[in-house]
Amino acid sequence: MGRTLAVVWKELLLLSRDHAGLLSLFLLPAALVLVITLVQQNVMELTGERTGSMLFIDQDQGELGPELQALLRQHRGIELLVWPAERAAEARSAVVAGKHSGLLILPAGTGEALWARLERLAAVAADQEADGQTVNQEERAGALPELQLYFDPTLLPGFRQEIGALVRLAMARVELDWKLELLVGTIRSRLEQLGIPGEFLRHETFGIETLDEELLRLREWAEGAGKQQPGVVQQNVPAWALFGMFFTVLPLGGGLLWERRAGVWLRFRSMPLAIGSLLGGKMLAYMLVGLFQFALIYLIGNRLFPLLDLPAFTIAGVFFEIGLIVLVVSLAACGYGLMLGSVCSSYEQVTMFGAISIVLAAAVGGIMVPVYAMPEFMQQLAVVSPLNWGLTAFHEVLVRGHGLAEAASQLVGLLLFGLGNLLLAWRLTTS
């Protein structure tokens, strides 16, 4: 054990003198998790996940404008800003410049035109019922009143559709309220024509105001595997921590190759030091580096993200499970690095093949883009990536609330991957 610890100390001492290697192992994943998370959060904001601002100009100055405002303000994803009618040209310029997501203009006379159209439609319906004839209601009711909705030209289609749907929903609610009001007036008028006693008309709305009361409630659940998807923080913190841990293959493999080519490995072999102690010491040293890497990314997610208006990353209650996953991932990465250092014949081969293979595994495995956002054939291909195994294990514990039993298949796969590479490295270095 003492000889193995001496190898561990030697590896850590060499790594501490490799400033470029330290930057790639710690600064690179830290910068990536910060930049990628901020970018993805901003994309979610543009697609409607977070609040956008919309201007509202009421040129009608009637009852319709305040009703629409009240309904639009109920949506938490839209910040409604009311501007005076004389600033319509300035508002359009602000939207075109990208300062606001949209602009809704209520033209003058819209409320009166809407009410007049409702009355004409009601009259047409009454005439049809009396005459027993079918008449084109649209032609007799006149032109439709129009609201004007302007969008930022660079707005993503998803957010544009959400704003349009929100405005149409508010318009439909106003139309329903006004139709009910017309219906109540028509009923009262018909009752008066029939000579119904006054006590039957003591209620002005006949209880229709109770339509505002909630009748049904929808409660959403996310049960079962695969139904709950990680958020931006839950995706990126473990993803880029995995990416950084697998990048230890470059200094680990490169160091082993240099020792072999410089004759240091032969001197080690001539000493009373087993190959298992040499390889085990190197692996333990870089597994310790992997723990420090994850700790750094965790601190960024837990402490720095809230300062940047991002959700905090936490592993409260699953500290043991996450620690075990980190250890297994580090073992797999170290085994891969030792295998590269044993197979390759030049440092350029280690750096080129190691970097390319890790980047490809990260791209395929859902590190750069979540697996559920990939095409179907890419989702099927993701299962061959060791980085996907590690990321899935993190998500089983952090997102779905499962234990290690549900992540067992991924952890076993990582263990076999790491031990298989370690066995190959041992065979090659002893031959």
User: Which has the minimum average pLDDT: 9-23, 40-54, 293-307, 348-362?
Assistant: 40-54
Within this chain, do residues 57 and 119 fall inside the same structural domain, yes or no?
yes
Residue 221 lies in a domain: no
Residue type, 226: G
Model pLDDT, residue 247? 86
CA–CA separation, 109 and 12 (whole Å)? 78
Q: What angle do CA 321, 327, 332 make, to 5 degrees?
A: 125
CA–CA separation, 67 and 171 (whole Å)? 9
Report the percent of the chain where pLDDT is more than 90: 14
Residue 225 lies in a domain: no
CA–CA separation, 417 and 415 (whole Å)? 5
Within this chain, do residues 266 and 140 fall inside the same structural domain, yes or no?
no
Within this chain, do residues 59 and 195 fall inside the same structural domain, yes or no?
yes
Residue with the bigger pLDDT between 58 and 118: it is 58
Model pLDDT, residue 195? 72
| Residue 137 clears pLDDT 60, i.e. is over it | no
Q: Where are the beta strands (DSSP E) in 110-183?
A: 148-151
* Structural domains in the chain (count): 2
Read off the pLDDT of residues 363-418 as tens digits, 9 standing for 90 and up. Answer: 888 888 888 777 888 888 888 999 999 999 998 888 877 888 888 999 999 999 99
CA–CA separation, 378 and 19 (whole Å)? 37
Model pLDDT, residue 225? 40
Read off the pLDDT of residues 41-81 as tens digits, 9 standing for 90 and up. Answer: 665 555 544 456 889 999 888 888 888 888 888 876 678 88
Within this chain, do residues 38 and 68 fall inside the same structural domain, yes or no?
no
> Residue 40 — very low, low, confident or very high, per pLDDT cuts 50/70/90?
low
Residue 285 lies in a domain: yes
Among residues 160, 182, 212, which one ends one of the domains? 212
CA–CA separation, 284 and 5 (whole Å)? 9
Name the token pair of 426. Answer: 């041992």
Within this chain, do residues 405 and 378 fall inside the same structural domain, yes or no?
yes
CA–CA distance from 267 to each of 228, 270, 315, 373 (Å)?
54, 5, 45, 52
Within this chain, do residues 308 and 279 fall inside the same structural domain, yes or no?
yes
Within this chain, do residues 235 and 116 fall inside the same structural domain, yes or no?
no
The separation between CA 129 and the C-alpha centre of its own chain, rounded to angstroms, equals: 54
Whether this model's pTM surpasses 0.85: no
Within this chain, do residues 39 and 68 fall inside the same structural domain, yes or no?
no
Read off the pLDDT of residues 221-275 as tens digits, 9 standing for 90 and up. Answer: 544 444 445 678 888 889 889 998 998 888 888 888 887 777 766 666 666 666 7
**Matching residue, tokens 């405002």:** 69
Within this chain, do residues 159 and 271 fall inside the same structural domain, yes or no?
no
Residue 148 Ramachandran class (φ > 0 left, ψ -120 to 50 alpha, else beta): beta
Name the token pair of 399. Answer: 């997102």
Residue 310 Ramachandran class (φ > 0 left, ψ -120 to 50 alpha, else beta): beta
CA–CA separation, 248 and 24 (whole Å)? 9
CATH code (residue 151):
3.40.190
**Matching residue, tokens 């085990």:** 280
Read off the pLDDT of residues 287-321 as tens digits, 9 standing for 90 and up. Answer: 898 899 999 999 999 998 888 888 888 888 888 99
CA–CA separation, 228 and 280 (whole Å)? 39
Residue with the bigger pLDDT between 15 and 346: it is 346
Q: What angle do CA 130, 131, 133 make, to 5 degrees?
A: 125
409, 388 contact by CB (below 8 A): no
Read off the pLDDT of residues 143-164 as tens digits, 9 standing for 90 and up. Answer: 677 888 888 876 667 677 878 8
The burial class, CB within 10 Å (0-12 / 13-18 / 19+), for 279 is: buried
Name the token pair of 366. Answer: 């859902």
* For range 169-185, the mean pLDDT: 82
Residue 135 lies in a domain: yes
Name the token pair of 130. Answer: 């009396």
Model pLDDT, residue 49? 47
Within this chain, do residues 146 and 272 fall inside the same structural domain, yes or no?
no
What's the start-to-end Cα distance of the chain, in Å?
24
Taking alpha carbons only, the member of 393, 18, 420 closest to residue 242 is 393
Average pLDDT of the chain to the nearest whole number: 78
Name the H helices within 263-406. Answer: 264-270, 275-299, 305-307, 319-343, 347-364, 376-381, 386-398
Within this chain, do residues 189 and 260 fall inside the same structural domain, yes or no?
no
> Residue 420 — very low, low, confident or very high, per pLDDT cuts 50/70/90?
very high
Task: Determine how many CB atoms are found less than 10 A away from the CB of residue 322.
Answer: 18
CA–CA distance from 314 to each of 111, 236, 303, 394 (Å)?
52, 13, 10, 12
- Phi and psi (nearest 5°) for 148? -110, 125
> Residue 335 — very low, low, confident or very high, per pLDDT cuts 50/70/90?
very high
Read off the pLDDT of residues 193-227 as tens digits, 9 standing for 90 and up. Answer: 777 655 555 555 555 555 555 555 555 454 444 44
Task: Determine how many CB atoms are found less than 10 A away from the CB of residue 226.
Answer: 8
Q: Give the pairing of strands 78-83 and 52-58.
A: parallel
Residue with the bigger pLDDT between 373 and 91: it is 91
Within this chain, do residues 380 and 260 fall inside the same structural domain, yes or no?
yes
**Could you list the residue range(s) of the whole structural domain that residue 59 is in?**
51-212
Residue 272 lies in a domain: yes
- Phi and psi (nearest 5°) for 54? -135, 135
